Amino acid sequence: MHEEKIFQDKLDREIKIEPQDWMPDAYRKTLIRQISQHAHSEIVGMLPEGNWITRAPSLKRKAALLAKVQDEAGHGLYLYAATETLGVTRESTIEDLNSGKAKYSSIFNYPTLTWADIGAIGWLVDGAAIMNQVMLCRTSYGPYARAMVRICKEESFHQRQGFEILLTLSRGTVAQKEMCQDAINRWWWPSLMMFGPKDDDSPHSKQSMDWKIKRKSNDELRQQFVDICAEQVKVLGMKIPDAELKWNEKKQHYDFGQIDWEEFWNVVKGNGPCNRDRLEARKKAHEDGDWVRKAAMAHAKKSKHKKQQTKVG
Ligand SMILES: [Fe+2]
Ligand SMILES: [Fe+2]
C-alpha cells in the first residue's frame, strides 16, 4: 500500500516514474505492450519507404529518403532499449513481432505504389505520428518520455520532407498533379485510423489517461490532425477525399466524415493488403542477420577475454 501511494504521489506531482521505481504490474504491462508496439512500428515502417530508395527521382531525394529511413531504425532502437528497462529482453520482444503475436501500426500494411506515396507518408503518416508523439514527450514513464523528445525532433524533418515532395509534384505537370492527388486519396483515411478506435470503443484509454501515459484521447488527437491538414492541403492546391469535411464555426473545428471501421479492424486482424509481406520481410531480415549477431557476440567475448588477460598480466 505504501508503495502504491508513492507511485500515485509521483503521478500527481508530475515526477517521472523510473525503471527502478515500484510500479503496478498493469502499468508495467501496458507500457511494455505500448512501447514495444511503437518500436515494431518504427522498424516495420522502414519497409514501405525503403521500397523507393533505389527509385528516388534525384540524388537529393534519395539522400533525404535514405536519412529518413535510417532515422526510423534509430527510433526503433531507442524504443527497444526503453522496453528493456521494464524487464523484458530484446530477443523476446522481437520474437513476439516475428511470430505475429505483437502488433504494429496498421498504416504500414498499405503499399507504396508511386513516388508521390513517399510524399504522402511524410506529410500524413509522420504528421499523425508527431501528433501522438508530442503528447508522449510528457508521458509518465521517464525512459519513454526522453526517447520521444529526441524522436520528435527528427519526425518534424520527416514531415517537412514529405510535404515538400508533394508541393513539388503539385506544381508540376498534369500527370504529377494527378499522382499527388491519388496518393493523398489513398493515404488520408488510413492516416486518420492511426489514432486508433473511437474513444467509446477504446477500453484501455481511460486507464492510460489516469496513469498519465496518454495525455489526450484518440478522438481529440484525430480532430487536431484533421484541423491542421485541412489547412495545409490548401497550400498544395489538392483536395482531402472527404465530401463531409467542412469548417464548423460553432465548434471551431472541422467536421469530417465517417471512418470505415470495418476496414480498420480487418487490417488490424492481419488482412490488410501487405500484412503478410511485411512480416515475411521482417522474418527474413532477422534470419539474414543471424551471422551478424553471432559475430558481434564472438567479438564481445574475445574482447572481454583480452581485457581480463591484460589485467592479469
Ligand atoms: Fe519514427
Ligand atoms: Fe518518421
122, 163 in Cβ contact below 8 A? yes
CA 61 to ligand 2 center in whole angstroms = 16
pLDDT at 309: 83
pLDDT of residue 1: 66
User: What stretches in the chain show pLDDT beneath 70?
Assistant: 1, 312-313
pLDDT per position as a tens digit, 189-209: 999 999 999 998 887 788 999
pLDDT digits (tens, 9 = 90+) for 32-59: 999 999 999 999 999 999 999 999 999 9
Q: Which ligand is nearest to the CA of 41?
A: 1
pTM higher than 0.85 for the full model? yes
Ligand 1 centroid – CA 252 distance (Å): 30
Q: What span, in angstroms and rounded, lies between the C-alpha atoms of 218 and 196?
A: 6
Closest ligand by atom to 162 CA: 2
Q: How far is the CA of 46 from the centre of ligand 1 (A)?
A: 9
Ligand number, closest to the Cα atom of 72: 1
CA of residue 27 to ligand 1 center, whole Å: 24
